Chain A
Amino acid sequence: MAYSKLGEMLEKGEFILTGELEPEKTCDLSHTIQEAKEMAPYVVAANMTDSPLGIVTINSLAASAIVQRETGLEIIWQQTVRDVNKLGLAGMVMGAHALGIRNVLSLTGDHTNLGDVKEAKPVFDLDSATFVKLVREMVDKKSINGHEIECPPTLHVGAAANPNADPMEAEILKIGRKAEAGAEFIQTQVVYDLDRTIEFLRGIKKYGVPVLLGLFPMKSYGIAKGFDTFVPGVDVPKDVLSKWKGIKTDITDKKAQKEAYDQANYEFFKPFITELKSKNLLDGVHCMAVHYPRIFPKLVEVIKG
């Protein structure tokens, strides 16, 4: 049973491209709506982040509902277990359905200690696997703890995976738990290391959950360098960094520079994705290049064929 376009494509086994929207600390969603409109022609759906790094932003469910309503772009509501207990999450899942949301990505969430409201009580009543299980109980069994839901929600629920995790086996076996809990799709952390990605995707293939691989096309050298420096556990390859640096220093015309960055992303990711597709390891791509919607036509080229 499919409840959304994403669900339909998962059911049919079609290759999926999803995007990501990151609302900020504001009640004005106009920038997010604009970005959603720009990526809408190219993606099946877009994730709406939930206060990443524990830095408080507008509520993810509210943003999901508004952006989906305003743009028609299907949203994958990201919800962490950091700030809400089981009772609250169950209520939010019903609320999400009532607001027209049909996809949710279950996440642990970065610890409050990392963010800008450090004094807040970290909740973590459920974890990302047991939140998946809760959603599946609500959708499939139409109940919470065995108590019937009069009008039950219909949402597809996904989970995250980190191919960069070391030890990798600990992460692979953990994905087994998420699959057992009922995850219908996996979206991964950003990857740049092809060999490692192949090893990981082969490791989780046995669980039979469709995988959308996390990509982060880099809009500029500054973004690439920042990502490499500040995102723990993810290294941007040195040759990529030097190529991006070359574009920054060698091309002064802004328009030409933009085109060069876009082309460089295409040239890096095309063989990467082609290789993974040829090995039958991918079901889609999740593009996390927030504030870089112009890359989507090129990404569509990347995943073609």
Chain B
Amino acid sequence: MVVITTKKEVPEVLEALKDVNKIAIISCGTCAALCQTGGTEGLKYWSDILEEKGYDIVVGAVIEEVCDNRVMKKDLRKMDNEIAEADAILTASCGLGTQSIVEVLSNKYPKKPVITANDTQFMGMTERIGRFYMRCQGCGDCLLNETGGICPIATCAKGLMNGPCGGMVNGKCEVGNYERDCGWVLIYNRLKELGKLDLYTKLREPRDWSESGHQREVVFR
């Protein structure tokens, strides 16, 4: 699984950095590196742009798993002098990475802004580099055992529990000009192949949002 990110437009990032001069860039070496929004590529991309615009890059570092608080605590400690000098931190990571840095640094540097350079898109399945697809929305109540291993929440544009809808034409979805497969037709075809159409005919209850419609956490120790 990869958290898929795309680069924000440069003017949006520059707007967020307009009141600062000295910048520390933290680039994620894991998912964002795969998406070419982080890693060495993302670091070079933002360093070049910001230096050209006259910013002072006090430090630029690629860190594995920026989203892991433990890693960030350890690695940020090693560059504490530079972090102290920087007016702001730019993160070439997913939103988890940005927030991890905020959580790790907010006690020591409560006034230091942490700016994200990326838009976090979705949890993605990788076909190859540059081709990522949303196949899971992390809904918290996995249906895959009933739907032939194809998720209706992620592959149906409407996330329907009882599809397909009237927007399906020749197996394609009305969203995206009938170019993408209808998730429920994929499920129907798969269950038919498996000889399990009884699972297709089952009337499914609506998703239960009582636990997943707000802040979620998994704490087991």
B184 x A170 contact (CB < 8 A): yes
Report A230-257 residues with CB < 8 Å from chain B CB.
Answer: 232-233
8 Å CB contact of B174 from A114, A127, A173, A181: A114
Q: A167 CA to B188 CA in the complex, in Å? A: 9
8 Å CB contact of A232 from B169, B185, B204, B206: B169
A177 x B162 contact (CB < 8 A): yes
CB-nearest residue of chain A to B189: A167
The interface residues of chain A lying within 8 Å CB-to-CB of B158 are 82, 108, 111, 122, 124, 127
Cβ of A142 under 8 Å from chain B:
no
Cβ of A176 under 8 Å from chain B:
yes
- Kindly provide the distance from the CB of A144 to the nearest chain B CB, expressed in whole angstroms: 13
- Kindly provide the distance from the CB of B43 to the nearest chain A CB, expressed in whole angstroms: 33
CB-nearest residue of chain A to B202: A177
A130 x B166 contact (CB < 8 A): no
Chain B, 171-182, contact with A by CB distance < 8 Å: what is the 0/1 string? 100110010000
8 Å CB contact of A111 from B157, B164, B200: B157
Cβ of B149 under 8 Å from chain A:
no
Say whether, besides A126-B206, A170-B185, A108 and B161 are in contact (CB < 8 Å). no
B203 x A129 contact (CB < 8 A): yes
- Kindly provide the distance from the CB of A234 to the nearest chain B CB, expressed in whole angstroms: 9
A-B contacts counted at CB < 8 A amount to 84
Interface residue SS majority, chain B: loop
The interface residues of chain A lying within 8 Å CB-to-CB of B206 are 86, 125-127, 130
The interface residues of chain A lying within 8 Å CB-to-CB of B164 are 165, 170-171, 174
Q: A18 CA to B74 CA in the complex, in Å? A: 71
B201 x A189 contact (CB < 8 A): no
Cβ of B42 under 8 Å from chain A:
no
B170 x A177 contact (CB < 8 A): no
Cβ of B205 under 8 Å from chain A:
yes
A166 x B160 contact (CB < 8 A): no
Cβ of B163 under 8 Å from chain A:
yes
Chain A, 128-151, contact with B by CB distance < 8 Å: what is the 0/1 string? 111001000000000000000000
A177 x B203 contact (CB < 8 A): yes
8 Å CB contact of A127 from B160, B168, B188, B209: B160
Cβ of A113 under 8 Å from chain B:
yes
Q: A130 CA to B188 CA in the complex, in Å? A: 19
Q: A125 CA to B160 CA in the complex, in Å? A: 8
A177 x B159 contact (CB < 8 A): no
Cβ of A110 under 8 Å from chain B:
yes
B203 x A113 contact (CB < 8 A): no
Cβ of B138 under 8 Å from chain A:
no
Among the interface residues B157, B175, B206, B209, which one has the most CB atoms of the partner chain A within 10 A?
B206
CB-nearest residue of chain A to B160: A127
A124 x B159 contact (CB < 8 A): yes
Among the interface residues B169, B201, B203, B204, which one has the most CB atoms of the partner chain A within 10 A?
B203
Report A149-182 residues with CB < 8 Å from chain B CB.
Answer: 160, 162, 165-167, 169-171, 173-174, 176-177, 180-181
Q: A158 CA to B169 CA in the complex, in Å? A: 22
Cβ of B197 under 8 Å from chain A:
yes
Say whether, besides A108-B160, A232-B169, A176 and B201 are in contact (CB < 8 Å). yes
8 Å CB contact of A108 from B167, B189, B204: B167
| CB pairs A–B below 8 angstroms (22 shown) | A108-B158, A108-B166, A110-B167, A111-B158, A111-B175, A113-B175, A124-B158, A125-B206, A127-B165, A129-B162, A130-B162, A166-B169, A166-B171, A167-B188, A170-B164, A170-B188, A171-B164, A173-B188, A173-B200, A174-B163, A174-B164, A232-B174
A binding-site residues for B, Cβ under 8 Å: 82, 86, 107-108, 110-111, 113-114, 122, 124-130, 133, 160, 162, 165-167, 169-171, 173-174, 176-177, 180-181, 189, 232-233
B binding-site residues for A, Cβ under 8 Å: 157-171, 174-175, 178, 184-185, 188-189, 197, 200-207, 209
Closest 5 CB pairs of A and B: A233-B169, A108-B165, A170-B188, A129-B162, A124-B158
